[in-house]
Amino acid sequence: MRTRVVIGAPVKAFMNSLAPEPRRKLRRALKELGDGKGDLRQLEGKLAPFWKLRVQMIRVIFDQKPVAGERVLLCFFADYRGTVSAILEQLLASGLLEQLRD
C-alpha cells in the first residue's frame, strides 16, 4: 500500500518558526515518515488513536487513514516535547481536536 504524508497548516506554521537546522531535520523526518522510518510511537490513553514522530525535542502528532487504496498520514500538530501532551489533552477535552485534524 502506498503512503502519502499530508502536512497540516499548524505543522507548517511551526516549521516556519524554527531555526534553519531544526527545520531541516524536521523536513527530512517528515519525508522519511512516508517510508515508515523515524522514531514513531502510538499515543496512550484518550489519545490512543494518534501517533507521534519524535525529532530531537520536537513532536509531530499524526493520524493514519486509508483513502482510495493508499495510507494517508495526516500531520496535524507539532510543538516541543514539553508542551505537546498538555495541549493535546486540552484540545481533546474542549472538543477542538477534531477541527485541528480537518
CATH number at residue 55: 3.30.2310.20
**Which residue reads 516535547 in cell numbers?**
81
**Count of structural domains, the chain:** 1
**Of the ranges 8-17, 45-54, 92-101, which one carries the lowest mean pLDDT score?**
92-101
Q: What is the DSSP string of 68-90?
A: TTEEEEEEEEEEEHHHHHHHHHH
pLDDT for 6 beyond 90: yes
Question: CB of 51 within 8 A of CB of 38?
Answer: no
What local confidence, expressed as pLDDT, does residue 82 receive? 84
Beta strands in 1-102 (DSSP E): 2-7, 39-42, 51-55, 58-67, 70-80
What local confidence, expressed as pLDDT, does residue 58 receive? 96
Selected residue with higher pLDDT from 83 and 93: 83
Domain of residue 13: give its range. 2-101
At 55-81, the pLDDT tens digits run: 999 999 999 989 888 999 999 999 999
